[in-house]
Amino acid sequence: DCRQYTNRSCEECLKNVTCLWCASSRRCMEYPVRRILPPADLCELRSARWGVCWVNFEALIIAMSVVGGTLLIMLGVCCCCCCCKKKSKRQVSGGPDKDDERAAREREKRRVRQEERRAEMKSRHDEIRRKYGTV
């Protein structure tokens, strides 16, 4: 029972993880597990200690909010940077679809030129064969 540590030290009270120490009233009580934070009528946040004696709930909430907010901002900035980088890369290179289309046009041009050269060479060979009577 946590109440047996009332009017003793915070360290003795918090040896049991289910206990909450209230520094202003020097009371040790069961942590109200149905609520995330202890209610003000039980103990003020700046006086409430749980887990360790050197951090009160008020400081813990502020610190966690700052750390959480910083992480969220960093995550947002990273997402924006990645999106902008991908967007600029697509604009510079013309995007994968434009590259594919360009490559297909180049292949088609080469194929047409090759067909023209083949036809030209065939007509030259046919002309030479007629000239020398090998046809």
The band of 4, judged by pLDDT with boundaries at 50, 70 and 90, is very high
Tally Cβ neighbours within 10 Å of residue 79: 10
Picking from 40, 12, 36, the residue whose alpha carbon sits closest to that of residue 26 is 12
In-domain check, residue 64: no
In-domain check, residue 79: no
CA distance 13 to 29: 8
Picking from 57, 76, 54, 53, the residue whose alpha carbon sits closest to that of residue 65 is 57
Query: Which string of DSSP letters, residue by residue, matches 16-80?
Result: STTEEEETTTTEEEE--TTSSS--TTT--TTTEEESEEEEEHHHHHHHHHHHHHHHHHHHHHHHH
In-domain check, residue 126: yes
Is there a contact between 35 and 45 (Cβ–Cβ < 8 Å)?
Answer: no
Domain count across the chain:
2
Is there a contact between 39 and 1 (Cβ–Cβ < 8 Å)?
Answer: no
pLDDT digits (tens, 9 = 90+) for 5-58: 999 999 999 999 899 999 999 999 998 888 888 888 889 989 999 888 998 888
In-domain check, residue 103: yes
In-domain check, residue 81: no
**DSSP percent split of the chain into helix, strand, coil, nearest 5:** 60, 10, 25
Helix (H) or strand (E) run with residue 7 in it: none
pLDDT number for residue 131: 87
Query: Which of 73 and 60 is assigned the larger pLDDT?
Result: 73
pLDDT number for residue 91: 62
In-domain check, residue 39: yes
Range of the domain at 22: 3-56
In-domain check, residue 86: no
What's the whole-model pTM score?
0.53
The band of 135, judged by pLDDT with boundaries at 50, 70 and 90, is low
In-domain check, residue 20: yes
